[in-house]
A and B are shown apart, each in its own frame.
Chain A
Amino acid sequence: MRQRASIDVIGARRDESSSRRLRRVWAQREESLWRVGGRVATLVPVGALVFLVAVLAVKAWPAVKVNGGSFLTSTAWLPGNTYGGVEHVHGVTIPAGARYGAWPLIAGTLQTSAIALVFAVPVSILTAFALTEGLPGWIARPVGFVVEVVAGIPSVIIGLWGVLVLGPFLARHVYPLVANRIPDVPVLKYLGGSVGYGEGLLTSGLVLGLMIVPIIASTTRDLFLQVPALPKEGARALGMTDAEVARRVTLPWVRSGVIGAAVLGLGRALGETIAVAMVSGSVLGVVSPNLYGTMTTIAATIVSQLDSAATDGTGFAVATLAEAGLLLAGISIVVNLAARAIVHRSGALGAPVGRA
């Protein structure tokens, strides 16, 4: 405020030229320009979010009315007779025989994300330890760069690699090692059976796991760097090994932040589309009977079905995809808000790496 007043005093000189005057006015106004511009810009993310949710809700409403509560539990995915007869359900016109249930998609989404977390959380935490304490700087730096590269590789390319290279390799050389040794008993049976050709549940989960490692690892690394040195040195002075310091000092210090990072990774895994669409096998209406079977997720179904849904003249198939999208967006929003709450409470500044 004070500098403005001084300029006013200088500006009061009568011999001021017009260009000087212009510059003075600009100097006074510039800050409010930044402020107003910024405030207008902040309307964009808020407006975008309102727009997205509103469009989804409006589009999904007919499908919500027709599909009802069984949408969450039914396994049917029948587009009905798109060439002829229509039926009217709750005032909505739908193709004759159209029945949709999202349970296989929901199950697939949750299963692949769970596998991804089981793989990514330990790997990320150990990687973060290696980057901050375990490795000398000359090797930690390039490894850190590799983690960034994984975050930046387009998901369609990870999917391409997953379906052409990783999936077939795992199905030929790795999955049989486990699957062929599993006895035919109730719970364990899930790990056995046919391993297929590498497109399916476990491959999708592992690919997702690889994709979310950078998110969890980079956040965890930043958290570890915030742990003060004194307690760690004290623990070491008491004779603790590196492993004991890591488990009993460093990790407990930032536990809630690490959980937040994992939930952030979960959010990404739930919404990932293209890579899963390529390696899941994309079969509709089926919950995989074992760990290796082909399946699909909500996101993968939307991307692979929107084309054919658009041919449904009644618009019911598109509306059903909106309902599925609303469901997925709802899950993602809840998960992201939870991650936000946890990370903020632990005081970590979420570094933006890749798509979170």
Chain B
Amino acid sequence: MAQVLPTGLPSTRGRRARAVAFRVLMLGALAFVVGPALWLVVGVVGRALPGWRWNVLTTLSQGTSGGLANAVVGTLVLMAGVLILAGTTGVLTGIYLSEFAQGGRGVTVVRVAIDVLAGFPSIVLGYVGYVALCVGLGWGFSLLPALMILSFMVVPYIAKATEAALHQVPTSYREGAEALGMPGGHALRRVVVRTALPGIVTGLLIALSIAGGETAPLLYTAGVTNNLPTWSLLHHPIAYLTYYVWTDWNQPTAAAHVVSYDASLILVVMVLAMLVVARLIVSRTQRHAESAT
């Protein structure tokens, strides 16, 4: 607090100029965030829209031309798989850390592991998936190694979001449930988790948008194919949207560029849709919470 009072007071004019400069800098910084974001979305949409045909969604890819039906379905399959694998693991981890963990060394190890895993470079994850699962175990480019690697990547987010959401549940809810004689597990499911559900779902949506938008961990685990995904977990490669953005943008033909831009547009729309839904959930529950108090 000793610093609060400036020792040598500058002139009033200098202070006023600095106050104005601060506002200008603030707006300038905003321009550096909002400007590129809009430029980026307009740049991608502007390239994709002129050549956009709806049958891109229904025709199969031929590599550097054709549609993207296989990639759209593949990305949705990957997201569904991540929702099942990482969703279960992450939510259960978050519940355990928030509701059952008593502290101690084991819990610290889990927390550190989650933080380190969240910051693990995605391409190194992909490398390990390729070397150990696809080649080492002989699974080939296929769904299971891709799902495992993606899940390793997003479990930390889901666990953290779940834990944070559970921490927001008022203690009085838990006490009320206990006072009414609810068994612990029942109270956890029907009162605590249900109250935290919007936060958990938001975390899952963000994790899904990460999973749908990743490229590096998938390039050497999922492979690519011009066909729709099969039901087999192993030995059958699976296509995904980011692959076509990554591969086709610098191919020599205009058709390939169109594939790349179309895949970008679909990805941007998917991510925006998920963010808007997450936003709506948050703002609706916030209004609900405000009216309840």
Contacts and interface: CB of A to CB of B under 8 A. Distances in A.
A and B assemble together: yes
Interface of A: 3-4, 6-7, 27-35, 37-42, 44-46, 48-49, 51-52, 55-56, 59, 119, 122-127, 129-130, 134-135, 143, 145-150, 152-161, 163-166, 210, 213, 217, 231, 234-235, 238, 241-244, 246, 248-249, 252, 264, 267-268, 270-271, 273-274, 278, 299, 302-303, 306, 318, 321-322, 325, 328-329, 332-333, 335-337, 339-340, 349-356
B215 interface: yes
B128 interface: yes
Main secondary structure of the interface of A (DSSP, over half): helix
B18 A150 contact: no
Contacts of A248: 3-4, 6
Kindly list the 4 A-B residue pairs having the minimum CB-CB distance in the complex, ordered from nearest: A38-B96, A30-B185, A154-B213, A271-B121
User: In this complex, which of A34, A35, A156, A238 has the most chain B Cβ atoms within 10 angstroms of its Cβ?
Assistant: A156
Contact of B127 (A156, A234, A321): A321
A157 B248 CA distance: 12
A39 B97 CA distance: 9
Contacts of A55: 128, 131-132, 136
User: In this complex, which of A6, A29, A252, A329 has the most chain B Cβ atoms within 10 angstroms of its Cβ?
Assistant: A329
Given A123-B33, A130-B26, A41 B88 contact: yes
Interface string B98-128: 0110000000011011111111111111111
User: In this complex, which of A52, A159, A217, A252 has the most chain B Cβ atoms within 10 angstroms of its Cβ?
Assistant: A52
Given A34-B188, A161-B44, A336 B115 contact: yes
Interface stretch (B60-68, B76-84, B266-274): B266-274
A337 B115 contact: yes
A3 B119 contact: no
A84 B124 CA distance: 30
A42 B96 contact: yes
A342 B236 CA distance: 45
B185 A356 contact: no
B131 A59 contact: yes
A253 to B, nearest CB: 10
B117 A156 contact: no
Interface stretch (B51-59, B157-165, B225-233): B157-165
Contacts of A325: 121, 123-124, 127-128
User: In this complex, which of A35, A45, A339 has the most chain B Cβ atoms within 10 angstroms of its Cβ?
Assistant: A45
B100 A38 contact: yes
A300 B106 CA distance: 35
B173 interface: no
Contacts of A40: 92
A249 B264 CA distance: 44
B40 A34 contact: no
Given A55-B128, A149-B37, A160-B245, A352 B157 contact: yes
24 contacts: A30-B184, A32-B185, A34-B95, A34-B96, A41-B96, A42-B97, A45-B152, A45-B159, A52-B124, A52-B152, A130-B29, A143-B34, A153-B37, A154-B212, A154-B214, A154-B245, A156-B242, A156-B267, A157-B268, A210-B36, A243-B22, A273-B123, A303-B123, A337-B115
Given A39-B96, A231-B4, A328 B124 contact: yes
Contacts of A147: 33
Given A45-B93, A147-B33, A153-B268, A31 B184 contact: yes
Nearest to B167: A349
A44 B26 contact: no
Interface in B28-50: 28-30, 32-34, 36-41, 43-44, 47
Nearest to A302: B123
Contacts of A252: 3
B174 to A, nearest CB: 12
A160 B214 CA distance: 14
A127 B185 contact: no
Given A37-B96, A135-B30, A273-B216, 5 more contacts: A27-B183, A48-B113, A165-B43, A248-B4, A351-B164
Contacts of B139: none
A59 B135 CA distance: 12
Given A157-B40, A271-B121, A127 B92 contact: no
A156 B22 contact: no
B219 to A, nearest CB: 6
Contacts of B246: 156, 159, 274, 278
A152 B112 contact: no
B169 interface: no
B123 A45 contact: no
Contacts of A332: 119-121
User: In this complex, which of B100, B122, B215 has the most chain A Cβ atoms within 10 angstroms of its Cβ?
Assistant: B215
Contacts of B159: 45
A134 to B, nearest CB: 5
A214 to B, nearest CB: 8
B249 A352 contact: no
A337 B196 CA distance: 28
B22 A153 contact: no
Contacts of B175: none
B30 A3 contact: no
B119 A268 contact: yes
Nearest to A40: B92
A30 B33 contact: no
Interface string B132-143: 100010000000
Contacts of B254: none
B216 A274 contact: yes
User: In this complex, which of A55, A238, A242 has the most chain B Cβ atoms within 10 angstroms of its Cβ?
Assistant: A55
Nearest to B245: A156
B18 A241 contact: yes
B201 interface: no
Nearest to B257: A164
A127 B161 contact: no
A158 B185 contact: no
